[in-house]
Amino acid sequence: MEHISKRFGATCALDDVDFDLRKGEVHALIGENGAGKSTLVKILSGAVSADAGSIFFDGHSFIPSNPLASRKQGIAMIYQELNLAPHLSVEENIMLGREIHRLGFMQGKTMQRAVEKALEFVRHPEIKSHIPIKKLSVGAKQIVEIARALVGKAKVLIMDEPTSSLTQEDTLRLFKVIQKLKNQGVSIIYISHFLEEVQKIADRFTVLRDGKKIHTGRMEETSVDDLIQMMVGQKFVEMFPKIDHEIGDVVLQLKGLKGKRMAAKVDLVLRRGEILGVAGLIGAGRTETLRTVFGLDSVEKGTIVVGTVETGYGTPWNRIGQSIGLLSEDRQEEGLALSLSVADNLTLSLFSPYKKFGLLRLKKRREAVQFWLKQARIKAQDPDQPVSGLSGGNQQKVALARLLHQEADILLLDEPTRGIDVMSKSQIYEWMGTLVQQGKSIIFVSSYLPELLGVCDKIAVFHRGNLIDFRPVSNWDTQSIMTVATLGRIAHENQVEHFDL
Amino acid sequence: MKTKSNILIFEEKMKDKNRIQTLLNWLGPFLGLFLVLVIFSSIPEVQDRFLRISNLRSVATQSVIVALGALGMTFVIISGGIDLSAASNIALASVITAFAINVGFSPVLALLFGVLTGGVVGLANGALITSLRLVPFIVTLGMLGIARGVAKWIAGNQKIDAPLTWVNEIMAKSPRPSWMLIAPGVWIMIFFAVAMAVILRYSVFGRHIFAIGSNEATARLCGIRISRNKILVYTIAGLFCGLSGVMEFSRLTVGDPTVAVGLELDVIAAVVIGGGSLSGGAGSILGSMIGVFIMAFLRNGCTMMGWPNYIQEIIIGAIIVAAVALDQIRHRQSA
């Protein structure tokens, strides 16, 4: 792939990237969230098309105009969210879309033989050709996807974070299969955040950062530290206004909290007037923890102390009453009701100020909404227009303004700046500063490390469900955060004393 | 020299366009009804009979039963649900009312029993949907059978004759004190339509229903108590079915467990013609009422023309599809 570029709206996802893949090699593609890895492989697999650049496959120029065209060439993608029909059997799934038939009648025997050959190759104790997919573990499903690619005679396999939800055992099994595939001459593009794994399995690597290619090299000549250095680069901290604020008593405490979808127990202390940053990879447990605190997931173990009161599970309604607010990471699906008006979305969590005999005083609400639109500098034509008509940044500000309107003192913000423009971002940072100055407290989950370092008082890092390190922000840098997030510990002994509290 | 930049002129044009769009959106359902009225009053064979007061009166009275059901159904559909048990519930309520009068309860109590029966069925729907986390379609499909079965059981599988009381005058086509102009049942329908429209638009409960139907995840995030609100919605829908059942009894003067079979589809059709979205989050009482009257006038007009029943069915079927298609086109344009 040469000179590949891709823009999504105002953001440049890929900028003049070159990438080459050799026969029978495992090539790791690494970079932070949003560096452009997924976009690059999506272009190769035909899911999105490049704006510029050219692709050569086996020496021929090749334009992957749609997923089918790529599949015919022998490029198979194994997605993070698996692409299997849960009710169909292993065999049916493997043959789906490439059924062998004569005059429309399926050739059962021939298909069975093909499937058995593929399953023989991947060898997994759970997988039998007749059992339905939904009965398999995540690891086994992944293997079925690979078997499917084998039946399709894939020459290139793309794996996007294949191990992020696998157990140790399944990971090893997957690696064995990858080794076997390599020996057969299949090339593999392997995307992963887990650098130690990458180092074990990959022959070469390419690092992307902010849509640009930083380096391609041989894995054995490169240390994990070098990789991290390349991933984070030299980012300067900017546009983060430091607003003086005082840190006070404890307002929220999690004691051995374990929710339905959390992998491990979590302890955490949040103080009045504090911005606590939470870093970690996607799926490491950050979002799940916030959702458990807010009552969107049920509590299995442990307690949540709000102020000085111990509480177990509380519904979102209870939590809002305890002046806690949550900003969802998914603005489109959860954060906003897109078909409702700006006014409804802004006031949905607190109607009581406008209530009289159970009816809403719309005029009074309209005035209040206009005040908030002005306060939050939200560009909207009218409070009654549907929120879907606003830009991403303004939508996000509506979602945030809702928390302010409901007078939340503890704000749980999950990726508040994802996918919005720079102006809106800096405005949100400014807000956060003003809010803690007023004595509110914020838990700030983000995948963008510079902003965590720029606005937080303290940062903690999640690694595979465990909340690992709490340290004042001055004891962190992008490199150490990335190290803890990907390895679960600090890389070098000599760095420990530098970090130690 | 130009005094205005092209962009400004363009923006103003867009503003005007938006204004026309909102006006059209608001008028949309009215246009359908207007069209039906115009068509039938311009056909020479029926024109003089169609617009006569007595005919309008009888169309209004005929609409009461579907209209009351549609009031509750509007709430259910806006919340993203569906109630297939509506017609069975109406039949059950009519049987209970007749039964109660027959046993010797006063008409007031009998009427109350009828309405409450509907409420209980609705409450059961809501409780099952929220506690078992089943889709409304399944729960109310089951209730469609259960309520109808219970109605037949109580009535001993036949009509229950009840002595004539003032209850039967509620649906009389020409009301007794003639200053009432239309049947008391129609007045009741108008009263509740206004009340429910106000609740839907101006009450906190109404806003919460819209939010739940528009995006349940967001509603949950905003601390709206989903189960409680849903149970309330289905109970209200049930109560209206109960009231509708009482009207059915009043009209027929007997409690008939086999009445109103398939009527739930008319009720749903009325809501959908009036702009209700089966995926939730959209709909209005005014729209639903217009939907009811579009169907009622169509039936009435077709009957006057002497067209056979199957023609009516074909026309109404086509109207449902056309109305929803138009609504979607309108929304796509304004989006």
Residue to substitute from B200, B208, B215, interface A, most A β-carbons within 10 A: B215
> What's the gap in Å between the CA of B199 and the closest CA on chain A?
7
A298 touches chain B (CB under 8 A): no
Q: Which residues in chain B are closer than 8 Å to A349, comparing Cβ atoms?
A: 221-224
For residue A349, give the nearest of B203, B222, B281 by CB distance. B222
> What's the gap in Å between the CA of A337 and the closest CA on chain B?
5
For residue A317, give the nearest of B210, B223, B335 by CB distance. B223
A488 touches chain B (CB under 8 A): no
pLDDT in tens, A456-498: 999 999 988 888 888 888 888 888 888 888 887 765 444 443 3
Give me the pLDDT at residue B335, please.
46
Give me the pLDDT at residue A495, please.
41
DSSP 8-state class, residue B168: G
Q: Average model confidence (pLDDT) for chain A?
A: 84
* Cβ contact, residue pair B224, A317, below 8 Å: yes
Nearest CA in chain B to A408: B222
At A371, the pLDDT band (50, 70, 90 cuts) reads very high
Give me the pLDDT at residue A330, please.
87
> What's the gap in Å between the CA of B16 and the closest CA on chain A?
14
Q: Which residues in chain B are closer than 8 Å to A388, comparing Cβ atoms?
A: 335
* Cβ contact, residue pair A336, B218, below 8 Å: yes
In Å, the largest CA–CA distance within chain A is: 77
Give the ipTM. 0.78
Q: Which residues in chain A are closer than 8 Å to B335, comparing Cβ atoms?
A: 388
* Cβ contact, residue pair B224, A348, below 8 Å: yes
With a cut of 60, say whether residue A318 has pLDDT above it.
yes
pLDDT in tens, A90-149: 888 888 777 777 777 767 778 888 888 888 888 888 888 888 888 888 788 888 888 888
A362 touches chain B (CB under 8 A): yes
Exposure pattern of A393-424 as b/e (b: 16+ CB <10 Å)?
bbbbbbbbbbbbbbebbbbbbbbbbbebbeeb
* Cβ contact, residue pair B335, A333, below 8 Å: no
How many of the other CB atoms lie within 10 Å of CB of A315? Answer: 17
With a cut of 50, say whether residue A340 has pLDDT above it.
yes
Q: In what order do the strands lie in the sheet with A324-327?
A: A324-327, A410-414, A441-445, A275-280, A458-463, A466-472
* Residues of chain B predicted below pLDDT 70: 1-18, 21-22, 24-26, 28-29, 330-335
At A282, the pLDDT band (50, 70, 90 cuts) reads confident
The correct answer on CATH 1.20.1070 for the domain covering B63-334 is no
A positions 458-487 inside 8 Å of B (CB): none
Nearest CA in chain A to B206: A359
Architecture of the structural domain at A250-333+408-499 = 3-Layer(aba) Sandwich (3.40)
Give me the pLDDT at residue B267, please.
96
Is there a contact between A465 and A488 (Cβ–Cβ < 8 Å)?
no
Alpha-helix residue ranges (DSSP H) falling in A322-477:
342-347, 362-375, 392-405, 422-437, 449-455
For residue A359, give the nearest of B202, B224, B282 by CB distance. B202
Query: Which among B298, B309, B321, B291 has a CA at the least distance from the CA of B73?
Result: B291
**Of the given ranges (A160-174, A227-241, A273-287), which has the lowest mean pLDDT?**
A227-241
In sequence order, the β-bridge partners of residue A101 are A106
CATH class of A2-232: alpha beta
Residue to substitute from B218, B236, B333, interface A, most A β-carbons within 10 A: B218
Of all residues in chain A, the percent with pLDDT exceeding 70 is 92
Give me the pLDDT at residue A496, please.
40
pLDDT in tens, A217-230: 898 888 887 888 88
- Where do the domains of chain A lie? 2-232, 250-333+408-499
* Cα(B139)–Cα(B116) distance, integer angstroms: 20
* Cα(B11)–Cα(B15) distance, integer angstroms: 6
* Cα(B90)–Cα(B265) distance, integer angstroms: 13
Tokens coding A222: 């490169």
Q: How many CB pairs below 8 A link A and B? A: 78
Average pLDDT over residues A410-429: 85
Query: Which among A22, A17, A69, A9 has a CA at the least distance from the CA of A38?
Result: A17
Three-state secondary-structure class, residue A46: coil
Tokens 């409304």 correspond to: B136
Give me the pLDDT at residue A497, please.
38
Q: Which residues in chain A are closer than 8 Å to B215, comparing Cβ atoms?
A: 333-334, 336-340
Alpha carbon B87 to chain centroid, angstroms: 11
Tokens coding A316: 């979102």
With a cut of 50, say whether residue A237 has pLDDT above it.
no
With a cut of 50, say whether residue A60 has pLDDT above it.
yes
Residues belonging to chain B with any Cβ–Cβ distance to chain A shorter than 8 Å: 198, 202-205, 207, 210-211, 214-215, 217-225, 281-282, 335
In CATH terms, are A2-232 and A250-333+408-499 the same topology?
A: yes
Give me the pLDDT at residue A211, please.
83
Q: Which amino acid makes up residue A449?
A: L
> What's the gap in Å between the CA of B280 and the closest CA on chain A?
10
Give me the pLDDT at residue B196, please.
96
Give me the pLDDT at residue B208, please.
93
A402 touches chain B (CB under 8 A): yes
